Amino acid sequence: MPLLWIGILVALPLLDIYATIRFAEALNVPGWALFVPGFVFGIGVLRHEARTMRERFATAMQRLSLRPVIFDSGRRLLAGVLLMLPGVLSDALALLLLLIPTRGVQAVPVAATGTPQTMDGEFRRVD
């Protein structure tokens, strides 16, 4: 069974590279023109996610709702890795992952003093 998984992990990227080369031939463009943009975009996605993940996790810890943040961050990190892999099929899968709407926790707005902003007001409980 482990050999089957290793075979799948080796065969899928090779089939993806083959499909990309055939797709490049059909479009009459060099193969690198389909490999390089996905790799560069993947690096950009990973850098952006690494920058924003820390503050989103801190906010999620304050609100005690980690599940949406873990799902969104993990999905974006997986998409970045898939974009860095060579091939059009892995790029298409990564773009599908990036198109899923986010439901994560947004960062809490912080005032110039460094404290979170609050809103004053009155409320009434309606049962």
Token digits for 63? 């609100």
Confidence of residue 29 (pLDDT cuts 50, 70, 90): very high
Length of the chain counted residue by residue = 127
Find the domain containing 73 and state its range: 2-99
Alpha helix (H) ranges present in 28-66? 32-63
Residue 127, domain member (yes or no): no
Give the pTM: 0.69
Q: Which of 72, 91, 74 minimizes the C-alpha distance to 33?
A: 91
Domain count, the chain: 1
108 DSSP assignment: P
Phi-psi region of 114 (alpha: psi -120 to 50; beta: other; left: phi over 0): left
Residue 87, domain member (yes or no): yes
Residue 112, domain member (yes or no): no
Residue 50, domain member (yes or no): yes
Residue 40, domain member (yes or no): yes
pLDDT > 80? residue 106:
no
Residue 123, domain member (yes or no): no
